[in-house]
Chains A and B, each alone.
Chain A
Amino acid sequence: MTQIIIHLKVGEVMNGKKQHYRIIPYIFLIPYFFAFITFRFGPSIAGFFVSLTRWNIVGQAKFVGFQNFIDLFEDPNFIKSLTNTLYFMLLTVPALVIGGLLIAMLVDQKLRGRYVTRTFVFMPYVIMSTVVGVIWMWIFDTHFGILNYYLGFFGIKPIAWLSSINWAMPAVAIATIWWTIGFNMILFLAGLQDIPNELKEAARIDGASSWQVFWNVTFPLLSPTTIVVVMLTLINTFQVFAQVYVMTGGGPAMATLTVVQYMYVQSFQYYRLGYGSAIAYIVFIFLVGLILVERSILKKSGDIN
């Protein structure tokens, strides 16, 4: 009896004896898997099937194959949302990555007050997305916003930030950069601190200038971190939604309409569930594509190294 009990209790058998009747591992897995299948895996698969239908929640779902996807690529609004999102990424990703690195390097040096800076630069990150939007709406206000006030000192006329087609996206980009740059800073800091000082010292002793030290020692050693930062930044900026939604609602004249917002609008305001799901799947494919592209760039540069 005792033998059986022990074997049932212990999920792992020493001496390499294998038994396939053990249920313990599955007991450990079941709670998570229940949640995983029900709320993550299942819906993801279901989402694909919904995207193959035309469905407006009250009626019957009608199977239309890939028609939704075809329609999407002929939909000027969708294309606009796509180009807007890419424009947003163009405005934010370089700043977030390079800026994050620069600030991290700054804070990495043994200067006084570095902890203060580190804390304050990161602090915005804990603020909720919509609150960030609300704060910056106030800052960007055309007539009473504080930004235009200070710009006035440079002789710049008040800019209608959030209501001008040209400036709305940059405004959202600025708010987003302020909000999330701390995150990249922390990641880069971790990477920087992993670089042994002796290497940098050695290079300096050999007569390398600061720039050369950076380019030939620091930067290459930082590349795993850089890759992660770039990837995460790309992924997150592509999915931008909340702060744009609050600041501009996608306007003016759809100048800041992002892909995720378009998906939201189609799914839950027009109740075109199939169409909206198709958009979501395109987001998915896009992101997978991004990741794969980055991986292959990785491989290439890895070969060179």
Chain B
Amino acid sequence: MIVCTIVAFAPILWMTVSAFKPEGEILSYPPQWVPLEPTWANFAYVLKNFNFLRWTFNSVVAAVVATIIVIFIDSMAAFAFAKMKFKGNAVLYAVVLSMLMVPIQVTIVPLYLMFSSVKLLNTIPALILPTAGNVTGVFILTSFFKSVPRDLMDAAIVDGAGSFRIWWSIMLPLARPSISAVAIITFMSNWTNFLWPLVSVSSDASRTLPVGVAQFFGGQSGVSGSAPQYGPAMAAALMATIPAIAIFLFLQRYFVKGIMMTGIKG
């Protein structure tokens, strides 16, 4: 178990340590675990020469707004699917669920064409909207609402409550654990999304964090073809990771819950 912990944590530790090493030291041999002359220079370099803060901002805004939108529209739709009788309930739900099997790659090209034709490429809405169509949230919430006993709803109806009232005051508060799971899943899914932001955003200032970080070594869009600068790269990696790890440590419970819900969906 100790081995696992060490193996799991070592790369993260190494990244952290490397981020603080000055230029000369990082390429030293043999590699040191504790920097001899820790420095903030790498961080400064990253912040000065790259739109790092801008990328972070874009990622955060996109993920937060997407999550909020998803929570609202998914819970509304889930409520309808789970608790309301209407023509086409089963059919529509089946259509929605069928999309669970469809990988997002098939949507990328059409989405690109669509956003391009309304001139919304390279904008924040482009980073937010596709996530709104995600199916997982609807699935999880519908399953949850289905499990809520009818009596709660019937009691409210007898009291004269309208559907919106029921949804807002009863269903939503009840669904808090499921909603938080959906929130985490949606947030993470949008935050770490790579293919779509890569495709849809061309100007550097509108990039999201994952795409921006990818620049450090290129793949295809390299910044420097020559010897990569590991120090700044590790600094950027660290800066990109710390918020995620902090949030994870705080909200561990919800993460675990969210994953278990993903498991149920299978």
Contact = CB atoms under 8 A, between A and B. Distances in A.
Interface of A: 6, 9-14, 18, 20, 22, 24-26, 28-29, 31-33, 35-44, 46-48, 50, 57, 103, 106-107, 111, 113-114, 116-117, 119-124, 126-131, 133-139, 141, 143-144, 146, 149, 178, 182-183, 186-187, 190-191, 225, 227-229, 231-232, 235, 239, 241-242, 245-250, 260, 263-264, 267-269, 273, 276-277, 279-281, 283-284, 287-288, 291
A264 B197 CA distance: 12
B29 A47 contact: no
Nearest to B85: A12
Interface string B132-162: 1111001000000000000001100100101
A17 to B, nearest CB: 10
A39 B130 contact: yes
A36 B96 contact: yes
B167 interface: yes
Contacts of B64: none
B210 A9 contact: no
A190 B260 contact: yes
Interface of B: 1-2, 4-5, 7-9, 11-12, 14-15, 18, 26-27, 29-31, 69, 72-74, 76-77, 79-81, 83-87, 89, 92, 95-96, 99, 101-103, 105-114, 129-135, 138, 153-154, 157, 160, 162-163, 167, 188, 191-192, 194-195, 198-199, 209-211, 213-214, 216-220, 228, 230, 233-234, 236-237, 240-241, 244-245, 247-249, 252, 255-256, 259-260, 262-264, 266
Contacts of B244: 126-128
6 contacts: A28-B79, A39-B131, A122-B255, A126-B244, A134-B237, A190-B260
Kindly name the residue among A122, A138, A288 whose own CB sees the greatest number of chain B CB atoms within 10 A.
A138
A93 B3 CA distance: 21
Given A32-B138, A129-B194, A276-B109, 12 more contacts: A12-B157, A33-B92, A38-B114, A40-B130, A47-B110, A121-B8, A126-B241, A134-B236, A191-B263, A277-B106, A280-B105, A280-B109
Given A12-B84, A39-B111, A141-B230, A128 B209 contact: yes
Contacts, number: 304
A22 B87 CA distance: 10
Nearest to B77: A32
Given A120-B8, A268-B199, A281 B106 contact: yes
A148 B135 CA distance: 44
Given A138-B15, A269-B220, A9 B1 contact: no
Given A129-B194, A246-B217, A123 B154 contact: no
Interface class of chain B by DSSP: helix
Contacts of B219: 245-246, 248-250
A253 to B, nearest CB: 15
Kindly name the residue among A31, A120, A126 whose own CB sees the greatest number of chain B CB atoms within 10 A.
A126
Given A137-B217, A138-B18, A128 B191 contact: yes
Nearest to B69: A35
Contact of A41 (B69, B79, B133): B133
B86 A26 contact: yes
Nearest to B115: A39
Contacts of B218: 249
A119 B81 CA distance: 36
Given A12-B85, A40-B134, A187 B77 contact: no
Nearest to A279: B105
Nearest to A248: B219
B262 A24 contact: no
B160 A6 contact: yes
A137 B47 CA distance: 21
A293 to B, nearest CB: 13
Contacts of B195: 241-242, 260, 264
Contacts of B8: 117, 120-121, 123-124, 178, 182
